[in-house]
Amino acid sequence: MNRSWLIGIVMLAAAASAAVLPQLAELEAAQHRHRGVAEATFADDRVLGNNNLVDALAALPLSLSVDSVGWNGRVLSLDLKVTGSDHTPGELYNNMAEAMTFAFQETSNVGQLLVRVIAEDKWLGTRRLLLAGDIRRTEWSPQLMEELRQAGDHPLPERLKTLLRISESDLWKQQFIHP
């Protein structure tokens, strides 16, 4: 095969891919809409990265302190620290919902939020897991977040725990749900 044929084939392949790729992206978005997954409109299209992670999280209206943060690819990991016994389940659910709002409504590049609520005993120097959530942008919706906010001081419904992949430790159940 001569060189001009090879150049022609490469140019044809490039043009075809430029025409097909945007249609594939729209197809994926249409599938998400069909399955009922919410597509959020981003007010400022904030792109989260290592250079703005601390500033962005410092502005969150959380009643719990942020213990640790991780950013790896499209995964945001967030540990929220509980100290003392004056917190309610509703307050902790609201903090998780605020983290979800930030990750999926205020940023455009977070694909997964790993959030943990950790109890810290300063006297003993121990830390124990209370709640953990593995929330994905493709499965998240404003309605689920609102259900989490509205749960108040009651146990979370199984449906909500399943859809948001929320797990509860025995300590959570003993101290907060069934004291």
Evaluate if residue 168 carries a pLDDT over 50: yes
Evaluate if residue 52 carries a pLDDT over 60: yes
pLDDT number for residue 1: 62
Residue (of 30, 77, 34) closest to 53 by Cα position:
77
Over residues 137-141, the mean pLDDT reads 92
Residue (of 136, 161, 135) closest to 148 by Cα position:
161
Q: What is the pLDDT of residues 114-132, one digit of tens each?
A: 999 999 988 888 899 999 9
Q: Chain-wide mean pLDDT for the chain? A: 83
**Whole-number percent of the chain with pLDDT over 90:** 54
Evaluate if residue 72 carries a pLDDT over 50: yes
Q: Write down how long the chain is.
A: 179
Evaluate if residue 64 carries a pLDDT over 70: yes
Over residues 148-157, the mean pLDDT reads 92
Residue 136: partners with Cβ closer than 8 Å, 6 or more residues away: 111, 112, 113, 165
Strand intervals (E) in 13-170: 65-72, 75-83, 112-121, 126-136, 166-168
Distance in angstroms (rounded) separating the CA atoms of residues 2 and 94: 66
pLDDT number for residue 33: 43
Q: Please enumerate, as own/partner, the contacts of 174-178 that have beta carbons within 8 Å and a separation of 24 or more.
A: 175/85, 175/119, 175/130, 176/88, 176/89, 176/92, 176/130, 177/89
Q: Could you state, in order of their start, the residue ranges of all structural domains in the chain?
A: 1-35, 53-177
pLDDT number for residue 2: 78
Token digits for 9? Answer: 């084939």
Query: pTM to 2 decimals?
Result: 0.72
Q: What's the maximum distance between 2 C-alpha atoms anywhere in the chain?
A: 80
Distance in angstroms (rounded) separating the CA atoms of residues 18 and 33: 24
Evaluate if residue 32 carries a pLDDT over 50: no
Query: Could you give phi then psi for residue 60, rounded to 5 degrees?
Result: -70, 140
Evaluate if residue 164 carries a pLDDT over 50: yes
